Amino acid sequence: MKIYHCKNCHFTFCREGKVDSCPDCGKPDIRPATEQEIQEFKNYINDGWDKK
For 43, which DSSP code? H
CB 40 within 8 A of CB 12: yes
In the chain the domains, ranked by start, together with CATH numbers, are 2-51 (2.20.28)
DSSP calls for 1-42? -EEEEETTT--EEEESS---S-TTT--S-EEEPPHHHHHHHH
pLDDT (tens digit per residue) in 32-51? 999 999 999 999 888 876 55
**In the chain, what percentage of residues exceed pLDDT 90?**
77
22-31: Cβ within 8 A, 24+ apart: 30/4, 30/5, 30/6, 31/4, 31/5, 31/7
The pTM (predicted TM-score) of the whole model is 0.82
